[in-house]
Chains A and B, each alone.
Chain A
Amino acid sequence: MRAIDHHAWSNRWSDRHPAEKLVPALGLLGVALVSPPLTTAPLVWVVAVFATVFGAGVPLRALLGMLAAPALFLLAGAPFLAVSLDFTEGFALRFSPEGAHLALAATLRALAAVSCLAFLALTTPVVDWAPLLRRIKVPAGVVELILLVYRLIFVFAERAVTGRRAQAARLGYSRFGHGLRSLALLAGGLFQRGLEQARRMEIGLTARSYTGELRVLRAEQPFSWGRLALGLLGVGLVGTTSGLLARALP
């Protein structure tokens, strides 16, 4: 998660208006979902990877690392689609050609879809979604909460990591039993510190005239129709190519 966050903040496209990334990504996702997967999905996947790595400049390793988990999950699940259980004569496990086709199609399509989402996650900081959420009428309180939790995750993650290190330095994880006890203590301690943190943060906020609403400036991100059009053009190209391919290959 830290890696995703790091790249979202530091890639070449992180300052771009979120809509310029969201609309093409969703378009690409749509193409991947409606077109025949065997030809379209690889194309979508390549385009998404290309945009992430060469467009936004996110290292390929980071992208592949992020895709590894869903890919493993898909690879583990696919074989079960390719076989069928037959109960007519007792019990038989049978390989079915349609099943195999289905497995391949599902895997490719899912991978393509995940790569579109990975593109979004790796190029757009969480904070940029806030104006969009507000625009689609998510209540202000919920958006504030999302942003506050986003910030606090890192405060607590840091405390959890240092706390764990301090425990490990005193052999808190040397045996399984010790480990369980240390973990319980750490979790309890973090909970307590969370409450204290909340109290102190309230003091800090009231010192700045907090009255129950966390209003902050929105970042100025000039929106460009040109860039959006360019993105959509790419999506259109992918769609047409996949249509032509589908007709050419029976």
Chain B
Amino acid sequence: MSAPLLAARGLDYRYPGGIVALRALDLSVERGRKLVILGANGSGKTTLLLHLNGTFRPARGAIWLDGQPVAYDRRSLVRWRCRVGLVLQEPDDQLFAATVEQDVSFGPLNLGLPEPVVRERVIEVLEALQITPLARRATHTLSFGQKKRVAIAGVLAMRPEILVLDEPTAGLDARGVTRLLDALQKLHEAGTTLVFSTHDVELAYAWADDIALFHEGAVRVQGEAAAVLRDREAMEQSRLRPPLLLEVADLLGAGQSGAPTPRSRESVVALLRRRLAGPASPVPAAVTVEHSRHR
């Protein structure tokens, strides 16, 4: 097997004051996959993400890019950050320019691209994230959801190979989440490797190819999404409950016959409906079990 695109090996990190944030952490980001870093609040997810683009330097261990440990000198850092784009959780921490267009142009200009190219890129990214009408708007007049998309646009305009997002859905309403995930899906189809952190198990199940389960500063398990979420022991240890959709799908016997486990709400509902309509189904019993679990 070839080396992962981006990897963390044996990371240790302490915050000033001695608080241990990461402890012997291992993580692999495979090319072209959607990886979710799943963990409770305060488990160290953000600290890990800040290592992935070289903002923080581990006390021990290293970050590997294309099978090579990365150095922390200025030139390596610049090259590293061109390939790994990081979007912070709070858009106001990232948007510094007075207008949307200007803010998005910042990254590509730093890459040393000529102005006409930058202008093209700005137009292109704004279009991809469906925020073209905002181009000339003042940053401070945007809603939270709009700011969030502008922050992502500012990083995307640099065309990173890997896009790392810290809690991208936090604070967005259902429609905002859907639009964001649609945009990310398009990026994924265009070949961008995606990493994002969340504590939302339902979201992780709906979206991820792979999941890294995070607990107390280390990745407990990493693997194919459904497999990780079915690992009861690890999930309990991380103080997370398995997603309802997966539980229902499993109760309905999905995925046992080798077919892929349904991921979306619609497909699980359709499965449930088929079972309820079909003859001699084991559904009543399953529903009762589900019921009592939540009482």
Contacts and interface: CB of A to CB of B under 8 A. Distances in A.
B271 interface: no
A16 to B, nearest CB: 13
Nearest to A203: B55
B146 interface: no
Interface in A200-223: 200-201, 203-211, 214-217, 219
Contacts of B87: 207
A209 B55 contact: no
Contacts of B53: 207
A155 B92 contact: yes
Given A203-B93, A204-B88, A217-B109, A209 B158 contact: yes
Given A148-B96, A205-B96, A207-B155, A214 B139 contact: no
Nearest 3 A-B pairs (CB), nearest first?
A154-B140, A204-B94, A217-B105
Given A203-B50, A206-B55, A208-B155, A219 B93 contact: no
B97 A216 contact: yes
Interface in B55-105: 55, 78, 81-82, 85-88, 90, 92-99, 101-103, 105
A216 B106 contact: yes
A209 B97 contact: no
Interface size on B, as a range, is 35 or more
B130 interface: no
B217 interface: no
A147 B98 contact: yes
Given A9-B138, A215-B109, A217-B101, A207 B95 contact: no
6 contacts: A201-B93, A205-B106, A209-B111, A209-B158, A210-B110, A216-B102
Nearest to A146: B98
Contacts of A6: 141
A5 interface: yes
Interface string A214-243: 111101000000000000000000000000
B5 to A, nearest CB: 18
A125 interface: yes
A181 interface: no
A214 B137 CA distance: 19
Interface of B: 50, 53, 55, 78, 81-82, 85-88, 90, 92-99, 101-103, 105-107, 109-111, 115, 118-119, 122, 136-141, 154-155, 158
Contacts of A210: 106, 110
B113 to A, nearest CB: 11
A124 to B, nearest CB: 13
Nearest to A152: B96
Nearest to B78: A209
Interface of A: 5-6, 9, 15, 125-127, 147-148, 150-151, 154-155, 197, 200-201, 203-211, 214-217, 219
B98 A208 contact: no
Given A200-B93, A210-B110, A150 B82 contact: no
Contacts of B115: 217
A150 to B, nearest CB: 6
B78 A127 contact: no
A125 B1 CA distance: 56
Given A151-B98, A204-B88, A219-B101, 13 more contacts: A9-B141, A127-B98, A151-B95, A151-B97, A155-B140, A201-B94, A207-B85, A208-B154, A209-B111, A217-B102, A217-B118, A217-B122, A219-B102
Which of B94, B96, B105, B122 has its CB near the most chain A CB atoms (within 10 A)?
A: B96
A203 B52 CA distance: 13
A17 B234 CA distance: 61
A147 B139 CA distance: 12
Given A147-B97, A217-B122, A206 B81 contact: yes
